[in-house]
Amino acid sequence: MHKYRVLGKKGEGTFSEVLKCQNIQDGTYYACKKMKQNYQSLEQVNNLREIQAMKRLSPHANILELKEVIFDRKTGNLSLVCELMDMNIYELIRGRRHYLPQEKVKNYIYQLIKALEHMHRNGIFHRDVKPENILIRDDHLKLADFGSCRSVYSKQPFTEYISTRWYRAPECLLTDGYYSYQMDMWSVGCVFYEILSLHPLFPGANEVDQIAKIHDVMGTPDATILNKFRNKARGINYNFPSKKGSGIEKLLPNATKQTLEIMNKLCTYDPDERITAKQVIRHAFFKDLRDADKRKQHVEKKKLSLGDQGSVISEDTAKESHVEGKDGDNDNHKAVRKARRKSKLHESENYSSTLLPKVQNNKMVGHSISNYPTQTFGSTSFPKLHTNNNRHQQSMLPSIANTHYNKHHHTTKTFQPAASKNVYGHFQLPSISKSKEAQF
């Protein structure tokens, strides 16, 4: 911590405290999460789920970025240096008298869903989504605090008393730790309601009261769902009194139809029927934000492709060209493409191949295969082509020579196994590795 100046405390939790720090060299501000627990070795630090998750999920626009890990071997103190945000969602809505604009709330939830979709796609679920762990700066949202996260491939049952009670999914309350990434989506539904109404959706005083609060709004789940939970629990009385429930619609009379539709799908009792992060992003409710993302990506792609030419492109221009195709491009872009085509044509005329070392065409005149200058290919030697006429003729096309030889001689072929797919039907990626090295 010698390179940082501590300016004050931002907040404190059960396992850590967050300090506002400034880099002494360049003056940049950071948030330093100082752990209350002491650690014995660097290996123990590297195996922490929070550090592994943040490294694996970075970079992403809606995931808090880990800048540096500071571990003092002598004292055992550990600090995580992250980017500094303005406040969390709880601080934003606490004590407010007026509702936030619905478009602003919609934008916040869209960014939160994108963060969770990225996590779930990489085989990690958060397990503690709540307003205090959702940070904002200039309407830019980032999900933080990955100390409770787990891998979707970890063996169940998990810890029962996970997640903050008000945002805990029914499968966490009614089973002995048999839950998965779907629990995050229930928490999003609770957060969505709280940002809109400025009040928590299910403020239970204890475990029993929490279940009762959920039943008051959503009604008692049917027997099929209760039986599914009963098979994964011991010592829980499932004889709940039948209750219809007031419904979220009554609590949010001014909410739009699509808002209520998404909220009800997020707060579905059955985790297998609950909407996923990917499905939420694709919902018609977020179409305008999806289109804005596409335009932004289009602008960034054009800036990268035209950056070396010094071209400047605005978002309005990108929006037009995104709709109209090449007809929407201005003359400068056409000139750049024309110059690139000429450059490629000039290169193809001067050089024989872009795969082999570049050799001027005019140098090939007057040389046969046998007396071709050896310094062009170095010490490269080609396989011998076995024919009836000349068994020692050098071949400049080794792949054809091998084909000719194998056609008349039986050879054993070796096949490489196809890439395996994971439980989601996607090809296995390092970020969702099932190996023992994944310490989630």
Q: Tokens 């994108």 map to which residue?
A: 114
Exposed / middle / buried, residue 195 (Cβ in 10 Å: 0-12, 13-18, 19+):
buried
Phi-psi region of 198 (alpha: psi -120 to 50; beta: other; left: phi over 0): left
Q: Kindly state the tokens that stand for 313.
A: 């492109």
Q: Give the pairing type, strands 78-83 and 140-143.
A: unpaired
Non-local (6+) Cβ contacts of 314 within 8 A are 299
Identify the active-site residue in 72, 128, 270, 329.
128
Is position 176 annotated as part of the catalytic site?
Answer: no
CB atoms near residue 282 (< 10 Å): 12
Mapping DSSP onto H, E and C, the string for the chain reads CCCEEEEEEEEECCCEEEEEEEECCCCCEEEEEEECCCCCCHHHHHCCHHHHHHHHHCCCCCECCEEEEEECCCCCCEEEEEECCCEEHHHHHCCCCCCCCHHHHHHHHHHHHHHHHHHHHCCEECCCCCHHHEEEECCEEEECCCCCCEECCCCCCCCCCCCCHHHCCHHHHHCCCCCCCHHHHHHHHHHHHHHHHCCCCCCCCCHHHHHHHHHHHHCCCCHHHHHHHHCCCCCCCCCCCCCCCCCHHHHCCCCCHHHHHHHHHHCCCCCCCCCCHHHHHCCHHHHHHHHHHHHHHHHHHHHHHHHHHCCCCCHHHHHHHHHHHHHHCCHHHHHHHHHHHHHHHHHHHHECCCCCCCCEHHHHCCCCCCCCCCCCCCCCCCCEECCCCCCCEECCCHHHHHHHHHHHCCCCCCCCCCCCECCCCCECCHHHCCCCCCCC
Catalytic positions: 128
